[in-house]
Amino acid sequence: RPEGTSSVLRALAEKKLQLERKVNKFFYIGPLFRYERPQSGRYRQHHQFGIEAIGTPSYEQDAEVIDMLFQLYTRLGLKNLHVQLNTIGDAETRDNYRDALVKHLEPHLNELSEDSKTRLEKNPLRILDSKDPKDHAILKGAPSILDFLSDVSKAHFDGLCKILNSLNIPFTINPKIVRGLDYYSKTVFEITTESLGAQNSIGAGGRYDGFPALFGAGKLPGIGFGTGIERIIQAMIAQNIPFPSLTYPFVFFAPLGEKAKEVAFKLTSHLRHMGIPCEIDLVAKKIKDSLQRANSLGAIYSVILGEKELELKSLKLKHMETRDEESISFDECLELILKKWETR
């Protein structure tokens, strides 16, 4: 499984999901696999997060997808982000451009890399994506696909650029961006950041109008992106971006008996609704076992609730590190725990 789009489209077709609504938006997270030489940050097995927006052909949808990925990186704290943007147009555009590109490359056939020699016969546009320095030199004088855009493709691309400018998303039009997969059409893009060396792309995507039809999902337009999770982590480490700390239970409830469980469950629910992370031992039988579990979860406070506490309508709040305890009535419980949470 080298990419995630095909899996989503297969599910779309088999489950007839496109019948539920006109526009379908999906996301996926899972392992993918490359049959290529491992490099820094590029492993045989890696994990990818991706989204697919299927059913809308407009350039506004393209902008929404690019904006979403850009915002994801921004909220993680990544710096020096930039969008590399291109269009490979519709079928008419690609047919006209393919002829011009082949005409430019054929005199240099013997100088091309072995991969590019194969691509010249199968899909010449893929040569633009070559990482071989010899191919780069030959491509310097190659025609640009932007000079071969049909009126429809040009209007789509111009509209997208206008929206990205209005959103203040930094982008550069790069005619060499074609992406490595053959199903793309019109918009293609990569988002780069510094500190990752030559392979500075952390996420990419593009439009694939008509591709869902190959899976029996109908002639639907679509666009999506994929971003490698290991690449994101690598970039965050290189840029010294702090990772969010794990969330530990602030209060761990250990109710002994059914009546105690009923009370503790209600308190746990109220505290969670107040934004306070809590955990409850629903199978508590021995105090020692429950406290060990609270300790293993890293809980800050623990509460043992048994028959005596129910009778007195109070509970003991125990600080797990200092072992200090204080009694709190049921009526004061929520307010006092909230105060401790806010002043932690």
pLDDT in tens, 105-153: 888 888 888 888 888 887 888 888 787 888 888 888 888 899 999 999 9
Residues 48/228, Cβ–Cβ less than 8 Å: yes
pLDDT at residue 166, as a whole number = 95
Confidence of residue 181 (pLDDT cuts 50, 70, 90): low
Closest Cα to residue 66, out of 150, 170, 152? Answer: 170
pLDDT in tens, 235-287: 999 999 998 777 899 999 999 999 999 999 999 999 999 999 999 999 988 99
Confidence of residue 43 (pLDDT cuts 50, 70, 90): confident
Beta strand pairing call for 251-255 and 278-280: parallel
Q: Rounded distance, CA 265 to CA 251, Å?
A: 12
Residues 144/93, Cβ–Cβ less than 8 Å: no
Q: Which amino acid is at 81?
A: L
pLDDT at residue 21, as a whole number = 59
Q: Rounded distance, CA 119 to CA 11, Å?
A: 31
Q: Which long-range contacts (CB under 8 A, 24 or more apart) does 329-336 make?
A: 330/263, 333/267, 334/267, 334/270, 334/271, 334/274
Q: Which amino acid is at 222?
A: G
> pTM of whole model > 0.85?
no
pLDDT in tens, 289-331: 999 999 999 999 999 999 999 999 999 899 999 999 998 999 8
Per the listing, tokens 């623990």 go with 302
pLDDT at residue 256, as a whole number = 93
Closest Cα to residue 184, out of 89, 116, 60? Answer: 89
Burial category of 82 from C-beta neighbours within 10 Å (exposed 0-12, middle 13-18, buried 19 and up)? middle
Percent of the chain whose pLDDT exceeds 70: 94
